[in-house]
Amino acid sequence: MSHEAHPQVGHVVPLSTLFAVLGTLLVMTFVTVAVSWFDFGRFNLWIALGIAVFKASLVLLFFMHLKYDKPMNAIVIIISMALVMLFIAITLTDTAQYEPERIPGYAPSIKTNPK
């Protein structure tokens, strides 16, 4: 039967694409471990996060078919990630502001803290 008879078949991702993605992911994993041996100061975290975001995007786009999917599904994921970032950004801004008011090392029930 023709393609219309298989309404279920969405986009079939070519094997070459899948393997290319895996290859990139493995390389990036190696890179992220490798850069952790060097010190880039305050950029360490952002480099690590940048690589993680790049890897995550590859998984989302190709393994999870978002590239070929209805845009709504991508919007759902983008909104959820944006909300997480909003939550972290605001909470972090606030806690960083009031951190000086907290008593350093305060934890009376923790017996193992250095004196």
Say how many Å lie between the first and final Cα of the chain, rounded.
77
Residue 93 zone, left/alpha/beta (φ > 0; ψ -120 to 50; rest): alpha
Residue 27 touches other proteins, criterion: CB under 8 A? no
Q: Which of residues 67-96 bind other proteins (CB under 8 A)?
A: 69-70, 72-73, 76-77, 79-81, 83-84, 86-88, 90-96
Half-sphere exposure (Cβ direction) of 56: Cα atoms closer than 13 Å: 9
Residue 64 touches other proteins, criterion: CB under 8 A? yes
Residue type, 19: F
Residue 26 touches other proteins, criterion: CB under 8 A? yes
Binding site for other proteins (CB under 8 A): 6-10, 12-13, 15, 18-19, 21-22, 25-26, 29, 32-33, 36, 39, 44, 48-49, 51-52, 55-56, 59-60, 62-64, 69-70, 72-73, 76-77, 79-81, 83-84, 86-88, 90-99, 101-110, 112-114
